[in-house]
Every structure is written in structure tokens, then in C-alpha cells.
Amino acid sequence: MRLSPIFDPVSPQAAAMERVSTVGFVVSAFIFAGVTLWIALALIRYRARPGSPELEKIAFGNHRIEIAWTLVPVLIVAYLFIVTAQGMRLSDPTVTRAPDVIVTGHQWWWEIQYPRSGVVAANEMHIPVGQKLYIRLESADVIHDFWAPQLGRKMDMIPGHPNAIWIEADRPGTFQGSCGEYCGNQHAWMRFTVYADSPQDFARWEQAQLRPVAATAAGPALAGRRLFTTLTCVNCHALKGTGASARYAPDLTHFASRSTFGAGVSPNTADALTRWLRNPQDIKPGCLMPNFQLQPDQVANLVAYLETLR
């Protein structure tokens, strides 16, 4: 999973920052080239030669040149200031309403809540295209940093001190994000995906997430459901319809609707899930889910159950 390129913004917020960066780079490049050129010319043209005048005999002081080389940098800095202030205003407008999405950083995954609808997701965030969304950023443990480079600015998630950013997607697509602040040994596997959906697709997704999971009739899935509710799973995970409501680990209600698990560490397939349940520490060493020493049939039943959670 590759982090989305920062120089290919797909939101007005990210575009504003990209502009500041490009303008700053171009202006600096011209200044660098100009200064280098002048130094090179001066070194060649005015180098000491036999018979050249002594230093103290050279005339000093030229009001016109001095005014020019004071005024020009002042104008350049003023221009950069204006571009920066505009970028800041566009990428980080003042907050005027309740958050659309609340993202909470955990070691090492993302909890994504939609307060208006009540949907709770993990690691995969769906947003409607063309809507400016106010995202509130929180942390459950240490300092994390929410960063979806193509969609908006980077922002720390500080325990006990909610931060906020605006993001908006100009076009539908899938955009990668990651934690941008070292937060422990699985910091590198604290990825997330933003799915920018058309408003219809987003509404459909939200409705699907709100629907209770289908009842498990019989077979391995039913056995898996029993294991889920009787083993220690419920101490950390929430799963609507089973009574499990803990928030220490990802909400599993619509687990099978996600394309990855473990904050991007693995594709969400039966094989990968089997390996994960055998020993999560094999796949994501240091993660807070311990090896429960499950028997092969227990793993198979749990996988069968999780696969039904569409």
C-alpha cells in the first residue's frame, strides 16, 4: 500500500497547500539562480588582476541600487506572506459546526465515527465527494498524527486535546493515509484508506453499515459466533447484535465489508484471517491483541463467522 502522492492534491485544502509549496519553491529557485549568477559574474569580472585598483579606491555607495535591493526582497517576502495566508485560510478554515466525522487514533489502528448517523468503522473511512467535512481528531493513548496527503493537512492527535481538520475530495477515488507521528513499534502499520464516494454511494455505504448483521443460521459461522461471545473477544471488540460493546479494539460489526484489517497490514481474506487468529503477533508484532492459543477448529469457526459480517 503506497502513501498517496502529496503533489497530486484532490481537495481544495490540499491544493491550497500544494500551491504555497510550489510558489515558495519557484520563487526560491529564481533567487538562488540569480544570486549564484551574480556571484559567478562578480568573481570573474572583478577578480584581482595586476594593476587593478586597490580596494579602498573603489567607489562605495549607490542609493538607487541600495533602495532596489531592499525593496525587491521586501516585496518578495510580502508576496510569499500573502500566498501563505491565503493557503492557511483555505486549508484550515475556522470551525463553525459540530464534527462530521470523529477519528480516534489507537495503538495501532483508527476508529472512525460518524456522529450524525451513528456508524462506527475502523481503518477505512468513507466520505462523500464534494462535501467539506469537519474532522475531529482524538487519541485513545499516545500522540498519533492523521495524514491523508492528497486530501488535507497533517494533524496531531493528542490525548485529552481534540484537534480538527477539514477535508474534502474533488473526485471519487481511493486515497491512502498514514500515522505521521512515531507512536510505538507498529507505527509503520498504522495506515488508513479514504474512499471518496459519490453522494449516492456514500449514502448506500452508510445505510449498509447501519443495518444489523444477518443472523447466523447454523454451521461453523454459528459456532464462531458462540466462540466470539464466550471467549475474551468481547472484552475489547464491539459487535452490534451480540452485546459486545468494548472500544479498545476495532468494531467488528461490518468487518467483512472492509478490504484490509490490522490498519493496512493485511488484505481481508480468509487465509490472512486464519493466520491472524492463530497468532496476531506473527503478522503485527507488538500489537495489543495477544496470541489466544486458539485450536485450529476454533480459528476456522471464528473465520467463518467473521466472513459473514458483511
> Could you tell me which stretch among 32-40, 124-132, 181-189, 286-294 binds ligand CUA (CB under 6 A)?
181-189
Contact between 149 and 6 under an 8 Å Cβ cutoff? The reply is yes
| Residue closer to ligand CUA (CB basis): 11 or 107 | 107
Q: Does 179 bind ligand CUA (CB under 6 A)?
A: yes
Question: What residues contact 130, with CB distance under 8 A and at least 6 apart?
Answer: 168, 169, 170, 199
Shortest Å distance, C-beta 183 to ligand CUA: 3
Contact between 307 and 270 under an 8 Å Cβ cutoff? The reply is yes
Shortest Å distance, C-beta 139 to ligand CUA: 8
Among 150, 223, 236, CA closest to 192: 150
Q: Does 122 bind ligand CUA (CB under 6 A)?
A: no
In whole angstroms, what is the distance from residue 262 CA to residue 134 CA?
26
Place of cell 488508513: 192
> Could you tell me which stretch among 25-33, 95-103, 177-185, 224-232 binds ligand CUA (CB under 6 A)?
177-185
> Could you tell me which stretch among 32-40, 66-74, 180-188, 275-283 binds ligand CUA (CB under 6 A)?
180-188
| Residue closer to ligand CUA (CB basis): 108 or 205 | 108
Burial of 16-30, coded b for 16+ CB within 10 Å and e otherwise, reads: bbbbbeebeeeeeee
- Of 18, 181, 206, 251, the one binding ligand CUA (CB under 6 A) is 181
- Of 159, 182, 208, 297, the one binding ligand CUA (CB under 6 A) is 182
Q: Cell for 307?
A: 466472513
Q: Cell for 111?
A: 476508529
Q: Does 46 bind ligand CUA (CB under 6 A)?
A: no
The string of DSSP codes covering 159-202 is TTB-EEEEE--SS-EEEEEEE-S--STTGGG-EEEEEEE-HHHH
| Residue closer to ligand CUA (CB basis): 14 or 190 | 190
- Of 9, 99, 105, 264, the one binding ligand CUA (CB under 6 A) is 105
The residues that touch ligand CUA, with contacts defined as CB under 6 A, are: 105, 108, 144, 179, 181-183, 187, 190
